[in-house]
Structure 1
Amino acid sequence: LNPGEEVLVPSPDYPLWSAATILNDGRPVYYRCAPENGFLPDPVEVEGLVSSRTRAIVLINPNNPTGAVYPRELLEKLVAIARRHNLLLLVDEIYDQVLYDGAKFEPLAPIADDHPCITFSGLSKVHRACGWRVGWAILTGTAARTTDYRNALDLLSGLRLCANVAGQYAIAAAVNGPDTISELCSPGGRLYETRRAVVEACAASEHLRLVVPQGALYAFPSVIGAAARGFDDHQFALELLETENVLIVPGSSFNVPYRDHFRVTLLPQAQVMGEVFTRIDRALGRRAEAAGKVVPIQAKARHAAA
């Protein structure tokens, strides 16, 4: 990026995309993925943000932190925007096989076809090999339109990257080996049952609302009702850690303009997650009770006339 050039980034986003844009002298411009729309972007709003300085669009599908999975029709509209404005597509698909209840993942590169697209993935999510620090980027599109990107990636790999040999062998074994994730995401599987525990806990709570995640490893509930009065997600995260020994991520950490959401991971066992939400609900109950208290106003004493 040249200084001041822009990248369209989803809100909420995985913060590394904003950081990478800023570190490369660019400016992240956020397009809304509103909870009332299932955390899916509105293509009309996205295109309205394109300017003469826009160079790329970032997509995160399945989404972190919301768990939204983008339907093909939406992806086709976003690709069409990239074509009309000659924008590079940057797509984070690292959760591509982490899906629930029949949700269907659509890879972007085949839809983009000859249009330049870089797809990012790795071993840390589907294959649960976080410590290996192994990932990859796949550049697609016609050679005539991707030569400059390919040359830049070759230069970057020669100057800055040094993938370990064992990790490279692990990629082939993982992507060509047996499917080890689908069972975890199906009824009875660890991720599915933890997700079920989160969904049921939020449905039973008068303080929480949840857009049910269709993919990825997270849930992104919002706080509602009396507990939401004066709610600050960072303050609540600290309070929850200090009083209930529960660690959450404040929603505003994901570059959203509101402060009433938080993220939890689906990695704990279902029974543990049930206890986690019992504690969250207890803390929110205290907040709701405090918000409902009426503090009497003390009348000022009047001085008698001399």
Structure 2
Amino acid sequence: MDSCDGEVAWRFGAAKPELAAADGEIRMRALVSRIYGCVDASDPRPVVPLASGDPTPFACFRTAPAAEEAVTAAVASGKHNGYPSATGVTEACSAVATYLSRYLPYELSTGDVVLTAGCNHGIEIMMAVLATPGANVLLPRPGYPLYEARAALSGLKFLHYDLLPEKGWEVDIQGVKALANENTVAMVIVNPNNPSGAVYSSHHLAKIAETARELGIMVISDEVYEHFVFGNKPFVPMGVFGEIAPVVTLGGISKRWMVPGWKLGWIAMTDPKGILRKKKIFASIIVYRGISVDPAAIVQGAIPQIIANTDETFFTNAMNVMRETAEICYQKLKGIKGVTCPHKPEGSMFVMVKLDMSCFCGIDDDIEFCCKLAKEESVVISPGSGLEMKNWLRISIAVDPPLLEDGLERVKSFCLRHVKPIIMNQAS
């Protein structure tokens, strides 16, 4: 239909409120892209990428040879070129169930596992499945912004509970209880934690499970960094407490095996009482998975061998490097004016750092700090504003140790250059 001035009156292009509400993930990516755009191309020094948790550019984080060999063998076999089933290749689901059961007080069956195209796909599925009219889910702050984005796109309301930096970024249990209402259906935890680097103790996880039981909600436990720990606390799966409250565990091979591009994850029903099946949650997951994308059949075919053949020394060596980078980061940050690291990272690939903006001259907030840092020192860091944590920074420590050390020295030089003179005089 033509308008009066002769132009076509196109019917599409109306604003979609759900997309506007889902811009959290986009906002963080846009901020990081903007910061990269501030880097001075004439700077001869290498850019230090401390904004994202992708360790694959660094030789010290290359995946295990056994994993590469398993994928090569899966390709050569010619057995994995077709469409896999809606839940995943049976042998792959079985291998994941056996792998997860090593760390649980009960056995998972093949039917308890649904394979996904990475952990992000699992987030998408769970937010969609829970999006019944009026329902809401409790999300951590700071957290992983894809949860907000996927919840908003699905029409699922979300409420933020706080993680407490003064308590090692533990969940504010009382805050969760105060926040939940009759429409709350689940709470999300991320352990080991992105972005804080915290690893939750067995005692704290038990309190979370008891809180979920008291509220009558499930726990969605994002464990994509499972066993990716290098501090004093061991990793404990939330599913250990599945007898107390039903737990949906999200995981994948991207972090532990250092292969985020392979896009193989899972949703596991770590729910020995079968509550999630009785409430039709598992059936809904299968339905949504059936109309969604499939993880690559080649990687599914390789998973049994990836899990079975990867030597423990690979994981040990990787965590030794992470332990080194965590120590470098924590010690270097101690000596920088205007910057505080409240908790030494113990797991995942990140740490949260607090900025004291009163220490700096001519820098108003965390975004301006990151933009100027990129321009002057070619160091790229994520501003906390992308995680609703204004005047905080999220720093990736999954970087080659000498490059991380160099980058943090540049951060120190930047802060010294911009610190207020009165603070400089006090320091000296």
Q: Which TM-score bucket, shorter chain as reference?
A: 0.7 to 0.9
Question: Counterpart in 2 of 1:38?
Answer: 168
Distance 2:303 2:396 in 1: 25
TM-score by length of 2: 0.64
Q: How many residues align?
A: 288
For residues 74-124 of structure 1, give each alpha carbon's deviation from its aligned partner in whole angstroms, at most 9, with x where no partner exists: 111111121122212111011111111332111111212263211011111
Q: Counterparts in 2 of 1:9-158, with a 5 A limit?
A: 9-113=139-243, 115-141=245-271, 142-147=273-278, 148-158=280-290
Which residue of 230, 237, 246 maps to 2:370? 237
**After the TM superposition, which residues 184-263 of structure 1 pair with which residues of structure 2 at under 5 Å, given as runs?**
184-186=318-320, 190-210=321-341, 211-224=343-356, 226-227=358-359, 231-256=364-389, 259-263=390-394
Cα distance in structure 2, aligned partners of 1:75 and 1:254? 23
In structure 2, the CA distance between the partners of 1:208 and 1:114, relative to structure 1 (3 Å rule), is closer
Report the Cα distance in structure 2 between the residues aligned to 1:222 and 1:170, rounded to whole angstroms.
Answer: 42
SS of 2:137's equivalent?
Answer: strand
Structure 1 residues 290 and 175, CA, compared in 2 at 3 Å: closer, same or farther? farther
SS of corresponding position for 1:248 = strand
SS at 1:172's partner residue? helix
Q: Supply the distance in 1 between the matched residues of 2:398 and 2:228 (Cα, whole angstroms).
A: 12
**Corresponding position of 1:172:** 304
1:273 maps onto 2:404 in alignment: yes
Q: Distance in 2 between matches of 1:227 and 1:175?
A: 49
Any idea what the Cα deviations from partners look like across 1:256-281, whole Å, max 9, x if unmatched?
A: 3xx22111211222111111111112
Relative to structure 1, the CA distance from residue 269 to residue 150 in structure 2 (aligned partners, 3 Å threshold; closer, same or farther) is: same
Percent identical residues: 24
Correspondence for 1:300? none
> 1:160 and 2:292 equivalent?
yes
Alignment partners' CA distance in 2, 1:55 and 1:291: 52
**Which stretch of the first structure deviates more once superposed, 55-64 or 36-45?**
36-45
Aligned partners of 1:76 and 1:111 also within 8 Å = yes
Alpha-carbon spacing, 1:219–1:118, altered in 2? closer, same or farther (3 Å): same
Cα distance in 2 for residues equivalent to 1:235 and 1:90: 35
8 Å contact kept, 1:14–1:64: yes
Aligned residues of 1:6 and 1:28 also touching (Cα < 8 A): yes
CA distance in 2, matches of 1:50, 1:234: 32
Deviation for aligned residue 1:175: 2.5
One-letter amino acid of the structure 1 residue matched with residue 381 of structure 2: I
Counterpart contact for 1:15–1:255, Cα < 8 Å: no
| Equivalent position amino acid for 2:405 in 1 | G
Q: What is the CA-CA distance between 1:238 and the residue it aligns to?
A: 1.3
Residue of structure 1 equivalent to 2:111: none
Q: How much has 1:225 moved relative to structure 2? A: 7.0
One-letter code aligned to 1:278: E
Q: Report how far residue 228 of structure 1 moved.
A: 5.6
Shift in Å at residue 58 of structure 1?
A: 0.1
Q: Which amino acid aligns with 1:9?
A: L
Return the letter of the residue paired with 1:21.
Answer: A
Distance (Å, rounded) in 2 between the aligned partners of 1:146 and 1:254:
34
**Secondary structure at 1:96's aligned position in 2?**
coil
Deviation at 1:29, TM superposition (A): 0.8
- Point out where structure 2 has 5 or more consecutive residues left out of the alignment: 1-130
Q: Which amino acid is 2:372 matched to?
A: E
User: Is the CA contact (8 Å cut-off) linking 1:232 and 1:260 kept in structure 2?
Assistant: yes
Runs of 4 or more off by more than 3 Å in structure 1? 228-231, 290-293
Instruction: Provide the TM-score with structure 1 as the length reference.
Output: 0.88
Preserved contact between residue 89 and residue 118 of structure 1 (Cα < 8 Å): yes
Q: Please give the alpha-carbon distance, in whole angstroms, between the structure 1 residues aligned to 2:412 and 2:155.
A: 42
Residue 182 of structure 1 corresponds to 316
2: distance between equivalents of 1:228 and 1:65?
Answer: 24
